[in-house]
Structure 1
Amino acid sequence: MKDELRYIGQKVVEKKIELAKKVDFGTDGQLMQKIAVSKFPLTERVEYRAKLIGYFGEALYEDTEIIKERVSDWAAKAAHVAINDHISLSSTLRGIYSYRTVIWDVFTEELEKRKFAPITMLDVSKIIDPLIDIVCSIIGEEFEKHNHNLMKVAYTALEELSVPVVPLTEGLAIVPLVGNIDTHRAKLIMDVTLHEAAKLKLTDIIFDVSGVPIIDTMVANQLFHIVHALRLLGVKVMLTGIRPEIAQTIISLGMDFSGIQTRASMKQALEEIGILKS
């Protein structure tokens, strides 16, 4: 039995380039279009397909664990190529299953020539099918990582838009805050404002908190840290939209906001600065 598997495996390895050229994705028109304009040259693509076919052949007579590692590495790179070529996950997986047809064509041919025992077919299947499953699994994982990273980038960009630093005049910007502020968003507000303050060479920032529905102990404490961090950079901070209950919260915490100017509204602050006329 081992001799039969070795013979078939060696035949697959010998013919891997020839077999790679037979890998056909013709039933998937979208995949064929993407491949046609791929940045991955056809010659290199054929050679890369041949590698996987060669691994399938080697698996019939080499250490399976070593082959699994090689197959996993192959799948990871194949996933990155597909992602860069904007090929969908479903098309990529359908393409992988076409390798099975090529391998079985070789096996069927040799089976007829050499009169192998029918059980040999089952043994080949037990070795190669799990490898194809590994390829599909790794590709799926790589696509999932890619999509997760895209979502993370999009979410980060959306978060940063939730902390708009709007320059008004040289050295002055306003930060209108809207919505709830939790610990994560407070850190984001600090990171963005510190970065923009340095980038825009700001000397004054006006935080308008009239759009923040609840300013509890935690939020007030976070605002205090943000203001303190900006003051360390030499940026003067003014808070506008302070409601009576917010003032009470600040006082109850014993926070020293004496060095921070506060105004009832953004309009009042801008009028005092001279940007708006009353």
Structure 2
Amino acid sequence: MNNREEFQSMLLSEAGNVATKITAILEAGNIDLLKNAETIALFVVGNKRDELIDFAKVEGISWAKHSLTLAFKLEWIHALRRTLWHLLRKYSPLNSSSKFATDFYELEQTINDGIDEFLNSFFISYSNYKDELIRDQRKLVEHLSVPIIPVSSTIAVLPMIGMFDSYRMDIIEEKVLSEISRLRIKTLIIDLSGIPEMDEYTVAIFQKVLIGVKLMGSKSILTGLRPQLAKKMVHLGMNIEENTEVKGTLQQALNEYFEVKS
């Protein structure tokens, strides 16, 4: 506590990569790294293990929520440990000028630096591989979550369900255009009854999907359009009927294309 400025200064110099992103991390997740480092140090030095564990769990959730990388956290904790040892060597009243004290701190540095190198390489390798797996799995799931269902030789239905962001809408655009070509779809009925909301950017991408369908020589029909979404489209000045046809429900659209007679 008496050497807080030196503590913070050395911590930042030890963790160069993290230091350059402290402001961004604070803005992204409201995470004050310097304040949190001081809290961790006090818990460690005070041997408050329960408080340390509880704080670590809260930190873990916070970093995961805001997609902050483990590599940054690992580098930050390494720097924190190195800083604590530096201050201990410099200010501890238990130190002496004896050869034993000098050898002890040099040995500590050699061992900790070696372990840190291993852990850093291990976690970065582990994290990168896991991230790649997650990206591949997400792509697979997103492709599977765009079910284009043929109901005749030229008509297909695309039920859209859940929350949609720009990434998922890009997947839909890619899948829709490729399936129109592969299945020779002439009419694509897009049911929006399972969509609670879209942000403005996603609505704009959706409009491009409808234009793409039209350019492929196919006709699109929207069904199940919710009032909130319709209002947003109008507010954005989206002339929806220019590129598509609108029906109230999926059943209505199917009935008109397949005249059901008793």
- Tell me which structure has the larger Cα radius of gyration: 1
TM-score by length of 1: 0.47
Q: TM-score, normalised by structure 2?
A: 0.50
